[in-house]
Amino acid sequence: MKNQNSKFEQNIQQSLKGICIVALSFLVSTNAVSQTKKTHFGVSASSSLSGAGFGTMYTPGVYYKTDKTKIELGLNIQKRKFNMSGMQVNFEYILFDDQKGCYNDGLMGNLELYSFATIRYNSSAYLSEGQIKREKKINPDHNRSFGNLKFSAIEGYVGLGLKIRVVDNLKWSNSIGFGGWKTLSGDKSLYREYNSISIALNTGLSFDF
């Protein structure tokens, strides 16, 4: 069993390293094209959910983009207690951009399909309300204060998303990613997995200046 857990953790670490490599590749490509492409700055606000056990994360952020690429830096704020738990970096590359609105005329025009890589670091995250309920149900020690436990963890995801231009420079995005998390510190005796794979769902708004 220990050997299986060791192999599983190694796979998680290799997956996270791969996601980091993809993210760095986006960064390099962005720097390369920024010399010749039109650039923009902007602000964003999004919410996301993954299987790490920390619940919904709200992420206000700022970004720098070119015609095809985008780099975004944001703060992680947990829905529970509105705890500022960490930060994340997001890299995007546009695969298809219906700039003329050929496939969706009218107010909700200009569809954009993009790929992304996200690295998220939480230094002091609480368990979500749902995770706390699961721990209380499974763990025989009902006197434990699961709600006060804090964890540090790194998450990494790659995936696809779709943006829709709402009005002018305002876009609404929805995405799904595949990756995982690795807990760096925190209680290891819980039902919650210390390291595992997961999907991540995200929805948000962005505004170009």
Do residues 205 and 44 lie in contact, with contact meaning Cβ atoms separated by under 8 Å? yes
Span of 103-117, 153-167, 169-183 with lowest mean pLDDT: 103-117
Position 169, amino acid: N
Residue 108 in this model has a pLDDT that exceeds 50: no
Q: What angle do CA 140, 143, 149 make, to 5 degrees?
A: 100
Strands (DSSP E) along 17-108, which ranges?
40-50, 57-65, 69-78, 84-97
The lowest-confidence range among 11-20, 71-80, 171-180, 200-209 is: 11-20
Between the two ends of the chain, the Cα-to-Cα distance in Å is 54
Most confident stretch, 21-30, 100-109, 142-151, 174-183:
174-183
What integer pLDDT is reported at residue 62 of this predicted model? Answer: 96
- DSSP letter (8 states) at residue 100: T
Round to whole Å and give the CA distance between 162 and 195.
29
More confidently predicted of 139 and 145: 145
Range 2-208 classified under CATH 2.40.160.20: yes
Sequence spans of domains, the chain: 2-208
C-alpha to C-alpha distance for 198 and 160, rounded to whole angstroms: 15
Better-predicted residue by pLDDT, 90 or 167: 90
102 or 201, greater pLDDT:
201
Q: What is the pTM for the complete model shown?
A: 0.80
